[in-house]
């Protein structure tokens, strides 16, 4: 079956089941009722939920072969919780586990060992780094299912993705299961991605290295959702918990891209009182935020809210009065963690509130502008952020397709060439985000606007921005580095890319193992 972005999608995929091809944004309408967790009762005779060890709690929840377990990724590359739990499961001889992480990072490379042993048989979650490369070479029998942040929350709430046991890394917890992420040696800030897991999993286990007296305050996830609490020595390495990418670029070429993007935002007419904004944590994105902040201060514009993964730069804009509120689903640095603890206008939100398309209204719907990156973009403005130039599936979807769908203005920023690798290509290898939700691509050679946005093109011309067509940028890239060689891919589907509404926007095929 050919879907709405022209990709051939099998009617059924081994290990995934029957597919619903992507139909176009807003074209897949849900029906029926949401999922619900089982009823349970806890009476006053149970005065503590603390269990001695991970092995003991795995026995207590009666984890069995074939069950699913979930994790959240707020500890990022500093996380040690996933491996501790999987190691304990392996010691107990439990097999065929489905892993449901929000995302995995290079620190989780060791999971390959447990995949080869049969402890883990499926992964429904985003993968960043070398584990994705191993999966691209065929280490797993079944494909990994990639979902956006909002798409994962949707899948759980819609009943498409069942979690038997949710393991929640809690930087602070009390003995009755009240949790937060803003206190203790492993503070990570918001626990937003874990909220849906806590509310919909059959059983919930909190793992902490900071067990405090009852009651813990402030409370992010309350005791009503948590069945057990386990204390471990360390949740992870604090040095890896923060992103490490939260510095504004000093490169003149990248600053030029950021300046052009900020000028496009101003030209769009959206930069006025009530403006709402999201950027990633990359150097160009933060530079765009700097230029936008300067424009807002100069023109005395009072913004409404900043959204998403929050950095110290957004914290400063909140404290400067540039924005009224920050909505935070994950903190990218320690200053954001501290702000979440001390500032009532810095608000922790769930992934569902952030970006689930199947509720009564998520926050991305209220975004004016989002700045995003891309590995590839094509003349139809389709964007790939999942696969590398060699076809390896090494990057998660994140909130890319969520924010692009919701925002009034979605701008992709990137150099035209990185090393010898072009960003603009004839056809993206993998479609992560459909071109109909992308409004502009900005690189060092100018601003390319999606022809569907004639209104934006007219405004950009009036502002005398350096307009180029994306076809001109494609020709430029080919002249500079030539056409990429066609890839030799296997027949095996190793990844399924779901769009946020649960339809399949693309599939990813395996690569040859030349090691």
pLDDT above 90 (res 514): no
**Would you put residue 290 in left (φ > 0), alpha (ψ -120 to 50) or beta?**
alpha
Q: Is the dihedral of CA 427, 431, 436, 438 positive or negative?
A: negative
Q: What residues contact 51, with CB distance under 8 A and at least 6 apart?
A: 57, 60, 228, 229, 230
The whole-angstrom separation of Cα 40 and Cα 383 is 44
- 191 band by pLDDT with thresholds 50, 70 and 90: very high
**Mean pLDDT (whole number) for 219-228:** 98
Distance CA 336, CA 279 (A): 14
Average pLDDT in the 466-490 region?
Answer: 95
211-217 average pLDDT score: 98
Lowest mean pLDDT, pick from 147-156, 235-244, 384-393: 235-244
pLDDT at residue 378 in the model:
98
Concatenated DSSP letters of 411-447 = EEE--SEETTEESB-SS-SS-SB-GGG--EEEETTEE
Q: Is a pLDDT exceeding 70 seen at residue 34?
A: yes
Task: With a cut of 90, say whether residue 359 has pLDDT above it.
Answer: yes
Task: Check: CB of residue 206 under 8 Å from CB of residue 230.
Answer: yes
How many other CB atoms are found less than 10 A from the CB of residue 52? 9
Q: Could you tell me if residue 245 is left (phi over 0), alpha (psi between -120 and 50 degrees) or otherwise beta?
A: alpha
pLDDT at position 184, please?
Answer: 95
What is the average per-residue pLDDT within 405-433?
97
Q: How far is CA 378 from CA 383, 384, 446, 468, in A?
A: 7, 9, 16, 14
Contacts of 180 (CB under 8 A, 6+ apart): 170, 171, 172, 191, 216, 218, 219, 220, 221
Average pLDDT over residues 50-69: 98
Bridge partners (DSSP) of residue 101 are: 71
Confidence of residue 308 (pLDDT cuts 50, 70, 90): confident
- Which sign does the torsion angle of CA 28, 29, 32, 38 carry? positive
What does the DSSP assignment read for 33-58?
----PPP----TT----EES-HHHHH
DSSP state of 77: G
The distance in angstroms from the start CA to the end CA of the chain is: 34
Q: What is the pLDDT of residue 515?
A: 60
Mean pLDDT, residues 79-86: 98
The stretch 432-442 carries a mean pLDDT of 98
pLDDT at residue 423 in the model: 98
pLDDT of residue 246: 64
What is the tens place of the pLDDT at every residue in 92-104? 999 999 999 999 9
Could you tell me which residues come within 8 angstroms of residue 129 by beta carbon, excluding any fewer than 6 positions away? 104, 105, 106, 108, 109, 394
Rounded CA-CA distance 148/130 in Å is 20
Phi, psi of 321 (to 5 degrees): 85, 10
pLDDT at 90 over 60: yes
pLDDT at 187 > cutoff 80: yes
Lookup result for tokens 């807002």 = 296
Arithmetic mean of pLDDT, 187-205: 97
Q: Write out pLDDT tens, residues 258-300.
A: 999 999 999 999 999 999 999 987 889 999 999 999 999 999 9
What is residue 237's predicted lDDT score, i.e. its pLDDT?
83
pLDDT (mean) for 198-224: 98
Position 240 confidence tier, pLDDT thresholds 50, 70, 90: confident
Give tens-digit pLDDT for 331-356. 988 899 999 999 999 999 999 999 99
HSE-CB for 488 with a 13 A CA cutoff = 3
Mean pLDDT of 391-413: 97
Q: By C-alpha distance, which of 126, 203, 201, 24 is closest to 385?
A: 126
pLDDT-based confidence at residue 247 (cuts at 50, 70, 90): confident
**Residue 419 in this model has a pLDDT that exceeds 80:** yes
Give Cβ neighbours of residue 298 (< 8 Å, ≥ 6 apart): none
Q: What percent of the chain has pLDDT over 70?
A: 99
Q: Residue 486's pLDDT is what?
A: 86
| For residue 366, pLDDT beyond 80 | yes
pLDDT value, residue 248: 81
Kindly report the pTM of this predicted structure: 0.96
Question: pLDDT per residue over 162-173, tens digit each?
Answer: 999 999 999 999
């Amino acid at each position: 079956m050919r879907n709405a972005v022209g990709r051939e999608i099998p009617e059924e995929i081994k290990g995934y089941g029957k597919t619903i091809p992507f139909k176009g944004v807003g074209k897949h309408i849900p029906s029926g009722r949401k999922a619900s967790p089982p009823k349970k009762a806890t009476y006053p005779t149970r005065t503590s939920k603390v269990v001695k060890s991970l092995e003991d709690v795995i026995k207590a929840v009666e984890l069995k072969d074939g069950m699913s377990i979930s994790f959240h990724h707020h500890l990022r590359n500093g996380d040690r919780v996933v491996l501790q739990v999987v190691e304990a499961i392996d010691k107990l001889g439990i097999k065929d586990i489905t892993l449901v992480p929000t995302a995995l990072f290079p620190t989780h490379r060791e999971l390959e060992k447990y995949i080869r042993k049969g402890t883990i048989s499926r992964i429904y979650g985003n993968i960043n780094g070398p584990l994705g490369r191993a999966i691209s070479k065929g280490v797993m029998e079944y494909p990994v299912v990639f979902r956006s942040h909002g798409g994962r929350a949707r899948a759980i709430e819609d009943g498409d993705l069942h979690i038997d046991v949710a393991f929640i890394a809690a930087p602070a917890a009390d003995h009755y299961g009240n949790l937060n992420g803003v206190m203790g040696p492993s503070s990570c800030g918001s626990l937003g991605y874990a909220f849906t897991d806590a509310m919909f999993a059959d059983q919930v286990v909190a793992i902490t290295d900071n067990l405090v007296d009852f009651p813990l305050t402030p409370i992010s996830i309350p005791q009503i959702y948590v069945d057990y609490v386990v204390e471990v020595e360390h949740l992870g390495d604090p040095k890896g918990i923060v992103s490490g990418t939260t510095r504004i670029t000093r490169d003149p070429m990248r600053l030029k891209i950021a300046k052009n993007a900020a000028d496009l935002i101003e030209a769009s007419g959206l930069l006025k009182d009530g403006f709402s904004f999201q950027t990633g944590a990359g150097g160009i994105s933060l530079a765009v935020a700097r230029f936008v902040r300067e424009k807002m201060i100069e023109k005395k514009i009072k913004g409404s809210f900043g959204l998403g993964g929050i950095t110290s730069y957004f914290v400063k804009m909140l404290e400067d009065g540039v924005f009224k509120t920050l909505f935070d689903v994950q903190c990218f640095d320690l200053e954001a963690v501290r702000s979440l603890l001390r500032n009532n206008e810095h608000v922790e939100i769930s992934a569902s509130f952030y970006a689930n398309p199947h509720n009564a209204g998520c926050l991305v719907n209220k975004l004016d502008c989002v700045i995003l990156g891309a590995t590839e973009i094509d003349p139809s403005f389709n964007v790939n952020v999942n696969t590398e130039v060699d076809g390896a599936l090494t990057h998660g979807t994140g909130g890319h397709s969520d924010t692009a769908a919701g925002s009034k203005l979605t701008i992709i920023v990137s150099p035209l060439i990185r090393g010898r690798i072009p960003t603009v290509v004839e056809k993206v290898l993998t479609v992560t985000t459909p071109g109909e939700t992308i409004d502009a691509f900005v690189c060092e050679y100018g601003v390319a606007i999606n022809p569907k946005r004639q209104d934006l093109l007219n405004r950009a011309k009036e502002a005398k921005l350096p307009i180029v067509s994306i076809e001109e940028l494609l020709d430029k890239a080919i002249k500079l580095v030539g056409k990429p060689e066609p890839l030799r891919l296997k027949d095996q589907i190793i990844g399924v890319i779901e769009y946020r509404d649960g339809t399949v926007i693309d599939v990813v095929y395996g690569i040859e193992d030349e090691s």
